[in-house]
């Protein structure tokens, strides 16, 4: 089973992806993790990634698709979870073409629906709790950074909701529930596929 987790920053995509990895043996394809791994790998693709990142430039869609293709042709356990990709309509088209090329299907796109104001409160509260406990806090876990990240999400990634809805792939769950509640909703969606 291959799925995409969609939702704004802080909606819990990474947390739910980890749960699916543990529960179903799925492979999480996080673009950030893949880029860091490639950079250290010493492969031809890894060297390209390292060069681009060293120049402070954004890695091209072509490179990201190449990294994903390497993963898709490897061992996939219980399927793949796309986390952080696609982020744009062009990337969604490229992913669709890559899935067809590798003989794989996309089974569902699961949107973690959240209310922006509640999400900002959640992230700011999480940062305050971490500070109070003497734990590290992400540099972008503050209201202003989160609002900027949300703006980017709505400009570039939110159009994917309509794209996948039109394809009949979009399923929505309440991303503001407790972690276990969200996991149960996702599991219910996957059972009904």
In whole angstroms, what is the distance from residue 131 CA to residue 133 CA?
5
Whether 55 is a known active-site residue: answer: no
What are the two backbone dihedrals, phi and then psi, of residue 150, each rounded to the nearest 5 degrees? -65, -40
HSE-CB for 112 with a 13 A CA cutoff: 30
Catalytic residue among 87, 104, 113, 156: 87
Catalytic residue among 13, 39, 48, 171: 13
In whole angstroms, what is the distance from residue 169 CA to residue 175 CA?
18
* pLDDT confidence of residue 127: 86
Sheet of strand 80-83, all strands in order from the earlier edge strand to the far edge = 27-30, 80-83, 3-6, 108-113, 170-174
Catalytic residue among 101, 138, 147, 167: 138
109, β-bridge pairs = 4, 170
Whether 87 is a known active-site residue: answer: yes
Exposed / middle / buried, residue 166 (Cβ in 10 Å: 0-12, 13-18, 19+): exposed
Q: Which residues of the chain have pLDDT under 70?
A: 75-76
Indicate the Cα dihedral angle 155, 171, 23, 98, nearest 10°.
-60
- Rg (C-alpha) for the chain, rounded Å, is 17
* pLDDT confidence of residue 36: 87
Whether 149 is a known active-site residue: answer: yes
Residue 81 near residue 22 (C-beta atoms within 8 A): no
The pTM of the full predicted model, rounded to 2 decimals, is: 0.87
Catalytic residue among 71, 104, 113, 149: 149
The secondary structure of residue 50, as a DSSP letter, is H
């Amino acid at each position: 089973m291959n799925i995409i987790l969609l939702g704004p920053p802080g909606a819990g995509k990474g947390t739910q992806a980890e749960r699916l990895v543990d529960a179903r043996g799925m492979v999480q394809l996080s673009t950030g993790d893949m880029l860091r791994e490639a950079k250290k790998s010493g492969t031809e693709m890894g060297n390209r990634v390292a060069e681009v990142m060293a120049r402070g430039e954004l890695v091209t869609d072509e490179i990201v698709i190449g990294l994903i293709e390497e993963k898709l042709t490897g061992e996939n356990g219980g399927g793949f979870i796309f986390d952080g990709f696609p982020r744009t309509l062009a990337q969604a088209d490229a992913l669709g073409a890559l899935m067809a090329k590798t003989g794989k299907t996309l089974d569902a796109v699961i949107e973690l629906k959240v209310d922006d104001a509640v999400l900002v409160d959640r992230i700011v509260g999480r940062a305050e709790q971490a500070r109070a406990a003497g734990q590290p806090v992400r540099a972008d876990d503050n209201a202003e950074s989160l609002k900027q990240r949300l703006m980017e999400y709505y400009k570039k990634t939110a159009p994917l909701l309509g794209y996948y809805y039109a394809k009949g792939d979009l399923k929505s769950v309440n991303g503001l529930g407790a972690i276990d509640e969200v996991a149960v909703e996702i599991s219910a969606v996957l059972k009904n596929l």
